[in-house]
């Protein structure tokens, strides 16, 4: 794979870019403090903007590694960070990445995550040389699966009691798209 790290990607409505510590206030306000947003994630809501800033300072240092893929989703119309999308697992041996994402509640059901995921699918196939892009969701969070389906991912199955999130151990619904699927779209 040809690792580029987190480079800026622009879509019709979005700028996918690196986080900076100056994003802390808006990240905290738009999604990181919301227990509804983090309900099916592995991290707890942030208690204050200072904790968000501390995390962003760590992430900023991680960008030195070209295998770090962690984007802030900025909505162009308001020039604010509204969510995040990142590689949660990278398996070089099979040229595969797994993607995770979250977005502020005020931005749900607007096709924003589908737009961001589509951009990353194209990026990973065209620029990085991935062969497989996967994602999974908790069975109790079907809206996340709709994003995967709308992005051309195919349902692969359910891994029973396989993953842990803020709700406990859960059944993970797995989706993926192969480069050959994507080229045939």
Q: Encode pLDDT of 51-62 as tens digits.
A: 999 999 999 999
The reply to whether 41 falls in a domain is yes
Q: Cα-flanking dihedrals φ and ψ of residue 153, to 5°?
A: -75, 150
Q: Encode pLDDT of 93-108 as tens digits.
A: 999 999 999 999 999 9
The reply to whether 1 falls in a domain is no
CATH number of the domain that residue 41 is part of:
3.40.630.30
Count how many domains the chain has.
Answer: 1
Q: Encode pLDDT of 61-73 as tens digits.
A: 999 999 999 999 9
**31 to 95, 102, 156, 180: CA distances (angstroms):** 31, 8, 29, 35
Return the pLDDT at 166.
84
**110 to 40, 75, 93, 146: CA distances (angstroms):** 19, 12, 36, 12
pTM here is: 0.94
Return the pLDDT at 51.
96
Return the pLDDT at 185.
64
Domain that includes residue 69, residue range = 9-183
The reply to whether 165 falls in a domain is yes
Q: Encode pLDDT of 118-152 as tens digits.
A: 999 999 999 999 999 999 999 999 999 999 999 99
Return the pLDDT at 13.
98
The reply to whether 3 falls in a domain is no
């Amino acid at each position: 794979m040809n690792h580029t790290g987190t480079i800026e990607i622009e879509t019709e409505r979005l700028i996918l870019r690196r986080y900076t510590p100056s994003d802390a206030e808006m990240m905290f306000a738009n999604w990181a403090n919301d227990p509804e947003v983090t309900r099916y994630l592995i991290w707890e809501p942030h208690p204050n903007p200072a904790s968000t800033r501390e995390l962003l300072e760590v992430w900023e240092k991680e960008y030195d590694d070209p295998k770090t893929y962690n984007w802030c989703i900025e909505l162009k119309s308001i020039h604010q960070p509204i969510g995040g999308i990142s590689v949660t697992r990278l398996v070089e041996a099979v040229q595969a990445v797994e993607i995770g994402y979250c977005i502020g509640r005020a931005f749900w059901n607007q096709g924003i995550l589908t737009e961001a995921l589509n951009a990353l699918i194209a990026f990973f196939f065209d620029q990085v040389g991935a062969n497989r892009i996967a994602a999974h969701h908790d069975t109790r969070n079907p809206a996340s699966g709709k994003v995967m389906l709308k992005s051309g991912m195919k349902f692969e199955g359910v891994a029973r009691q396989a993953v842990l999130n803020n709700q406990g151990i859960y059944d993970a619904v797995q989706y993926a798209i192969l480069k050959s699927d994507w080229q045939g779209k």
